[in-house]
Amino acid sequence: MSLPDIRFSQRRHQASVQSIAYLMKQGLESRNVISLAAGFVDEVTLPVSLVREAIADILTDDPDGHSVLQYGTTAGLGPLRDNLLKHMARLEKCSATDLNVTTNEIVVTSGSQQLLQHLSDALFDPGDICLVAAPTYFVFLGTLNGVGARTIAVDTDENGMCMDALEAELTNIEQAGDLNRVKMIYLVSSFENPSGVTLVDDRRKQVVEIAKRWSKEQRILILEDAAYRELRYEGEDGPSIWINDETRQHVILAQTFSKSFSPGIRVAYGVLPRDLVPAIHDVKGNFDFGSPNLNQRIVSHAIQSGKYEQHVAGLQSSYRVKRDAMLTAADEFFSDLPGVSWLRPNGGLYVWMTLPDEIKTGFESPLFRHATKTENVMYVPGDIAYPKDSPLQKKCQMRLSFGVEAPDTIREGMRRLSQAVRHVM
Amino acid sequence: MSLPDIRFSQRRHQASVQSIAYLMKQGLESRNVISLAAGFVDEVTLPVSLVREAIADILTDDPDGHSVLQYGTTAGLGPLRDNLLKHMARLEKCSATDLNVTTNEIVVTSGSQQLLQHLSDALFDPGDICLVAAPTYFVFLGTLNGVGARTIAVDTDENGMCMDALEAELTNIEQAGDLNRVKMIYLVSSFENPSGVTLVDDRRKQVVEIAKRWSKEQRILILEDAAYRELRYEGEDGPSIWINDETRQHVILAQTFSKSFSPGIRVAYGVLPRDLVPAIHDVKGNFDFGSPNLNQRIVSHAIQSGKYEQHVAGLQSSYRVKRDAMLTAADEFFSDLPGVSWLRPNGGLYVWMTLPDEIKTGFESPLFRHATKTENVMYVPGDIAYPKDSPLQKKCQMRLSFGVEAPDTIREGMRRLSQAVRHVM
């Protein structure tokens, strides 16, 4: 008897091939390849002893210790959410009261990717629209694609998404009669993945004003993804987009401890407009009844003790050296190549490099094959960071991560990559 | 300026009010109420020292220790999946080779609820059909509802889902021209939540044969939810439904360590038909890039060291006492009440009690109000464990959990509950 096929859902067919999963697997398995690809953090800097100490304090034999291994609530651990308010106040340089939210508006998730997915589930019907920077975080493009959303790229420069271009796109959409389909503007506000670009302060104000003004048929939400905010190596951190919205009803703030603390613990959080909270609780409740208690207690303990803040200061020093190593190597190996340019990020994990138009960087390109097979160096092709068929898509860019490798290896990786580019040129 | 509404997705509207979330919140917050409701485990038995020791071994200062706090892969940690094969072989009383699967078919999830949700996403379009026992796990009914699936209840007795009733439902569905919409038969194979019923061995064979024979238009998958399998207090554990399918292509086996180890760690796993694996990887990749490494390492360590097996043996003794306390109290306080009956489970966490038809048990019923407000005892109303509007739905049943409370408190809870029932009678 032959085996009848499984008939999958429409959703499964929408879920595009997971470039990120492919890259992460490669990054973990091909240890002889220098990875300028994976958005992993540097393992050497992971807070092993901090977590060990936290667990020793938390996992006691008394009832409180036992509760660490019990179910929690869907919204997340109360004491963690209390600590998150203090943490947010420190980042915004204001008092917890001035944040003008309560812990009721905070939901803890297993990585911010989970929040991004829950928001997509709760908000987007097929054909609904999300506006994004060009380029933007490619994993979220996959998530949006998976729920059938239309993603429209907005022109972006070294100061982040261009506000006049955003207005122009909204005008186009309105003229096409689709303004009622616009649900969200997505912005990675600091050190965008992949471009390393930060949205400047005046645009943070403007985008809130634009979202409000264009909320003619329904609310247009801004999703501020601040995953890299604390990884700043230069300059002063300004206020979030979120705090520019005094109503607290237009901006969703997504934050994670994956980059600044540990991706293997998977604790993140969102701050939500009040009337979005029940929807996210319902969606998350269907998914997992809440994130693991143990992991939430570890992060809460680290914030409370002040050791998290110390840890982030250490990370900044360590990543600053690696960013500088990559930029120095770029100068050394790429500056004589005509038509090659790159951005100098003030934080995050990525340097964004543009080659001449005719040199394609995609997974199927001669450059990618030569780099990975002959030179043993890996990067992320830039084309995946644009919505498919966007007129803004470029195919000659690369995301280069200085997250994983040591400074010397970063230099060697950049040398190899320049060899591959020279070979193809 | 008034605040424009958020327009939610169709999915959000399908996501029903989360009874489970409500109950869990109540269970955690109302500490003066005796909870015979929450499906929580007994906090006293949680493996605090075991986890502490595991972490001390795992979270070392060497590179391997650091990797615990790094990202993992979507499929889950390799060494854990190796250990899961050995664990499964022990449960099935065969060699790992005789399981006839590889670690490639195993995916690690954050609780089995996550696997249930991912499967629903990958398989069900609105209107597709899932057949379930009556009664069945109400959280999964909510999940199915959330993706727009139709859920059809199948008559069930003290030996589990009735196979002739299953055949009859499939015949009805075929006559209605909907056989091509049947995607799944869902079965909690051991100590079903809420009924405590176990599917007997010959029905385990029959259901596989039925699923194969009715896979005329596409594959009808069986989802075997074995969450409570290891919580057996009486009798011999037989083979799973899964191992009865020699092709390994019709049954999905869902297993979790939430009940047998720790719900606060949230580690579970699924064994999937080979051609379902890429779909679940893609869906999970979009969700969270894989479950937390730390938690997976803890469980892997506990299995490897043999301490997990010892822990489960201890749990069985402890829960056996609590089950007996509940059954003894049922005899003591309920046996003189006309028309009241209950099942005696051999394992799991629940006693399923049926009252006379005219005594409604739902959230809005006089009994529920009297029990929770006056007698300070909480149960789960049985009606939520049937698909809405199913002709098999009864409204006079209660799920009574002996998971959380100590034996004396269970007895007191049962006394209070009998008072509430007497009051309403």
What pLDDT is stored for residue B11 in this prediction?
81
CA-based radius of gyration for chain B: 22
Distance between A275 CA and the closest CA of chain B, angstroms: 8
- What is the chain B residue with the closest CA to A143? B286
The shortest C-alpha distance from B133 to chain A (Å) reads: 20
- To probe the interface with A, which of B1, B2, B5, B12 has the most A CB atoms within 10 Å? B12
Per-residue pLDDT tens digits for A376-408: 999 999 999 999 889 999 999 999 999 989 999
Per-residue confidence (pLDDT) for residue B151, from 0 to 100: 97
HSE at residue A398, side-chain half, CA atoms within 13 A, is 30
- In tens, the pLDDT along B106-163 reads 999 988 989 999 999 999 999 999 999 999 999 899 899 989 999 999 999 999 999 9
What pLDDT, in 10s, does the model give residues A232-254? 999 999 999 999 999 999 999 99
B287, B299, B315: best to mutate for the A interface, most A CBs within 10 A: B287
Which of the pair, B46 or A253, is modelled with greater confidence? A253
A174 to chain B, closest Cα gap in Å: 17
When CB atoms are compared, the residue of B17, B55, B247 closest to A3 is B247
Contact between B171 and B180 under an 8 Å Cβ cutoff? The reply is no
DSSP structural state of residue B229: T
Beta strands in A212-262 (DSSP E): 221-225, 251-256
Angstrom distance (rounded) from CA B402 to CA B36: 6
- Whether residues B49 and A61 touch (CB distance < 8 A) is answered with yes
When the pLDDT of each residue in chain B is averaged and rounded to a whole number, the result is: 92
Give pLDDT, residue B91: 96
Q: For B68, which of A71, A117, A264 is closest by C-beta distance? A: A264
Whether residues A4 and B215 touch (CB distance < 8 A) is answered with: yes
Q: Which of A288, A291, A349 to mutate against chain B (most B CBs within 10 Å)?
A: A288
The confidence score (pLDDT) of residue A23 equals 59
Quick one: residue B63, left, alpha or beta (phi over 0 = left, psi -120 to 50 = alpha)? alpha
Given this model, what pLDDT does residue A215 score?
A: 95
pLDDT band at B29 (very low <50, low <70, confident <90, very high): low
Using only C-alpha atoms, chain A has a radius of gyration, in whole angstroms, of 22
Angle at A389 between CA A387 and CA A393, to 5 degrees: 65
Contact call for A6 and B143, based on CB within 8 A: no
φ, ψ of residue A216 to 5 degrees: the values are -85, -40
| Average pLDDT rounded to a whole number, residues B232-242 | 96
Q: Are B292 and A295 in contact (CB under 8 A)?
A: yes
Mapped onto helix, strand or coil, the DSSP state of residue A129 is strand
**B303-306 long-range Cβ contacts below 8 angstroms, 24+ apart:** B303/B80, B303/B83, B303/B84, B303/B86, B303/B87, B304/B79, B304/B83, B305/B54
Q: How crowded is the C-beta side of B291, counted as CA atoms within 13 Å? A: 30
For range B321-336, the mean pLDDT: 98
| Sheet of B106-109, strands arranged across | B106-109, B268-271, B251-256, B221-225, B182-188, B129-133, B150-154
CB contact under 8 A, B51 and A28: no
Find which of A9, A138, A281 to mutate to test the B interface (most B CBs within 10 Å of its CB).
A9
Percent of chain A at pLDDT > 90 equals 76
The lowest-confidence range among A191-205, A278-292, A357-371, B355-369 is A278-292
**Which among B6, B41, B147 is the nearest to A219, CB-wise?**
B6
Question: Left if phi > 0, otherwise alpha if psi is -120 to 50, otherwise beta: which for A177?
Answer: left
* Whole-number pLDDT of residue A26: 56
pLDDT higher than 60, residue B28: no
Cα A174 from Cα A340, distance rounded (Å): 38
Range B358-372 average pLDDT:
94
Q: Which residue of A has its CA nearest to B285?
A: A21
- Rounded to 5 degrees, what are φ and ψ at A166? -65, -45
Q: Which residues in chain B are contacts of A144 at CB distance < 8 A?
A: none
CA distance A119 to chain B (A): 10
Instruction: Report angle CA A215, A220, A221 to the nearest 5 degrees.
Output: 145
Domains, chain B, with CATH or none: 10-46+312-424 (3.90.1150.10), 70-309 (3.40.640.10)
User: Which run of H or E residues covers position B101?
Assistant: none
Mean local confidence (pLDDT), B360-373? 93
- pLDDT(A20) > 80: no
Is residue B288 pLDDT above 80, yes or no? no
- Residue type at B165 in one-letter notation: A
Q: Which of A3, A67, A219 sits opposite B249 (nearest CB)?
A: A3
How many of the other CB atoms lie within 10 Å of CB of B335?
Answer: 11
- Average predicted confidence (pLDDT) for chain A: 92
Q: Is the pLDDT of residue A14 over 80?
A: no
Average pLDDT for B364-389: 93
Task: For residue A6, give the nearest of B52, B219, B292 by CB distance.
Answer: B219
Query: Which member of B46, B55, B289 has the closest CB to residue A111?
Result: B289
Q: Are B222 and B243 in contact (CB under 8 A)?
A: no
Residues in chain A closer than 8 A to B9 (CB atoms): 121-125, 128, 147
* Cβ atoms < 10 Å from Cβ of A306: 9
CB contact under 8 A, A21 and B285: yes
Minimal Cα–Cα distance from A92 to chain B, Å? 25
Tell me what pLDDT residue B16 has: 58
Q: What is the pLDDT of residue B21?
A: 56
User: How do residues A79-121 score in pLDDT, each as one tens digit?
Assistant: 999 999 999 999 999 999 999 999 999 999 988 989 999 999 9
Q: Which residues pair with A182 in a beta bridge?
A: A129
Model confidence over B197-234: pLDDT tens digits?
Answer: 999 999 999 999 999 999 998 999 999 999 999 999 99
CB atoms A218 and B4 under 8 Å: yes
Check B9 against A70: CB less than 8 A apart: no
Check if the beta carbon of residue A69 is closer than 8 Å to that of residue B47.
yes
CB pairs below 8 Å between A and B: how many?
292
Taking CA atoms, A280 is separated from A102, A277, B253, in Å, by: 16, 5, 28
Contacts of B20 in chain A (CB under 8 A): 285, 289
Contacts of A265 in chain B (CB under 8 A): 69, 292, 294
pLDDT category at B13 given cuts 50, 70, 90 is confident
Judged against a pLDDT cut of 70, whether residue A31 lies above it is answered with no
**Nearest CB to A286; choose among B9, B117, B266:** B117
